[in-house]
Amino acid sequence: MVEASISGEKILDGLRVSEDDAINMHEYFQGKIETIPKCWISGLEDFAIWYTPGVTEACRAIIEERDRVFELTLKWNTIAVVSDGTRVLGLGNIGPDAALPVMEGKALLFKYLGGVDAMPLCINLRDEEEIVKVVKAVEPSFGGINLEDIEKPKCFSLLERLKNELSIPVWHDDQQGTATIVCAGLINALKVVGKRLGDVKVAMVGVGAANVSVERLIVKAGVDERKIVMVDSKGILSRSRSDLEKSEPYKWALCLRTNFDGKEGGIAEALDGADVCIAMSRQGPGVIKKEWVKKMNDRAIVFSCANPIPEIWPSEAKEAGAKVVATARSDFPNQLNNSLVFPGIFRGALDVRAKGISDRMCLAAAFEIARMAEEKGLSEEYIVPTMEEWDVYPREAAAAAYEACLEGLARKKTGKEKEYEYAKEIISTARRKFEQLKISGLIRRYKKV
């Protein structure tokens, strides 16, 4: 979500909404999701099937074959959205209570866009060991875990530990989701400007959870890691930054793998001679200056993704010579939005009962997102689909699910076309249910006072 305050109003993903409306609508509906039955109930006698004594047969079946839990319970389609509230949107460390509206909103997006049932799970813990214990303890109830808005460097180690210690997919959207959509955007932006992944020089502004994962995925997509230059708040990552070896080892590893030209300095020097700028740092404008973009190579690409204000305004980047510009905002062309990714990838992972979500699954989804946009016709202002083009979700679900099968991560095998049709039906059914609830009046229309 993009949020900025302007004269007592907020810009929410490009829509001007008063602060009173935002509070009043949340208060009116008292939350955004609820639990309702989906099984057939004709009368109280049906509970002899759904509860005691009939339910014991389902229990016995799972005792005999553990994986039948995916067939006989909600586990096959249910994930937990887990957060400690330490790094929420542009608000920072606000705690689990204040983070709950965000996690609930994430659950709403999961259902509406991917047909995935998601449960917000805000936990009043900060210690990594304790968070790991809690997530491992609740694993039996869920088919996947979405980690959300967790501070670094804890977010890195937490993701890796849980991926290794759980038998269900664990995903951190700030890392994997961001990396997937940026990778898709880069694939198509390079097609627009007529350059190849393996040839371009890439400057990356910001070395947080997002860009660290972006770097890893675009390298796997074909970018030459030696031609990447990364910049944190103290300057370019290089072998001279030996101070990072003990204090921030993940950055030190990047110092050793990137920047083989040995560049030194800051953002200006990193952009000099670069073909691509991927910025995910602090709010702008002015973090990236026009004169720096002018020193980039011809037909340059600028992804300026800070929220809510990008590091440089798209108009300024264009005036400085950038050919393709993208942001995280919906009120500019080329929105690189995680919401294009996580509902579809999780849909595919859940449908094949995946044991994890790999980088290759993310790459498969990224190339499918890029392919869909290319089929519709690429341009300087259209490099990825929009959220309204909802066929992107079953398509990436199919790509991710099929890749999981190829990698041996799937408990349930499928074909790409079969999964596409299956995912499309689940997602369209979720959307139809929502529309019917509105039409029937069971979801009441909010009326502005």
Q: What is the pLDDT of residue 16?
A: 52
Catalytic residue among 10, 28, 51, 446: 51
Digits of tens for pLDDT over the chain (449 positions)?
Answer: 333 433 344 444 444 557 788 899 999 899 999 999 999 999 999 999 999 999 999 999 999 999 999 999 999 999 999 999 999 977 889 999 999 999 999 999 999 999 999 999 999 999 999 999 999 999 999 999 999 999 988 999 999 999 999 999 999 999 999 999 999 999 999 999 999 999 999 999 999 999 999 999 999 999 999 999 999 999 999 999 988 998 999 999 999 999 999 999 999 999 999 999 999 998 889 999 999 999 999 999 999 999 889 999 999 999 999 999 999 998 999 999 999 999 999 999 999 999 999 999 999 999 999 999 999 999 999 999 999 999 999 999 999 999 999 999 999 999 999 999 999 999 999 999 999 999 999 998 888 76
Distance of CA 400 to the CA centre of its chain: 14
List residues bridging with 5 in a β-sheet. 10
106 is catalytic: yes
Do the beta carbons of residue 343 and residue 79 sit within 8 Å? no
pLDDT for 3 equals: 39
Q: pLDDT, tens digit, for every residue of 251-284?
A: 999 999 999 999 999 999 999 999 999 999 988 8
User: How far is Cα 261 from Cα 245, in angstroms, rounded to an integer?
Assistant: 20
> Which one from 75, 106, 195, 323 is the annotated catalytic residue?
106
Strand boundaries in 62-106, DSSP class E: 78-83
pLDDT in tens, 315-329: 999 999 999 999 999
Mean model confidence pLDDT for the chain = 93
| Residue 331 φ then ψ, to 5° | -90, 5
Residue type, 67: D
CATH no. of 173-396? 3.40.50.720
Half-sphere exposure of 224 (CA within 13 A, CB side): 12
Tell me if residue 112 is catalytic.
no
Contact 133, 159 (CB under 8 A): no
Start and end residues for every CATH 3.40.50.720 domain found in the chain: 173-396
Secondary structure letter of residue 4 according to DSSP? E
Q: How many CB atoms lie within 10 A of CB 209?
A: 26
Nearest Cα residue to 336 out of 358, 320, 321, 314: 314
Strand partners, 17: 10
pLDDT of residue 372: 98
Q: Taking the model in full, what pTM does it have?
A: 0.92
pLDDT tens, 108-152? 999 999 999 999 999 999 999 999 999 999 999 999 999 999 998
Distance between CA 17 and CA 7 in Å, rounded? 11
Residue 220: its pLDDT value, please?
A: 98
Neighbours of 41 (CB within 10 A): 11
CA 310 to chain centre: 18
| CB-based contact 188:373 (threshold 8 Å) | yes
Q: Contact 165/132 with Cβ under 8 angstroms?
A: yes
For residues 387 and 393, what is the distance between their CA atoms, to the nearest angstrom?
A: 9
Report yes or no: 373 and 382 within 8 Å, Cβ to Cβ. yes
Question: From residue 179, how far is each of 131, 253, 342 by CA, in Å?
Answer: 24, 18, 11
Residue corresponding to tokens 């029937």: 440
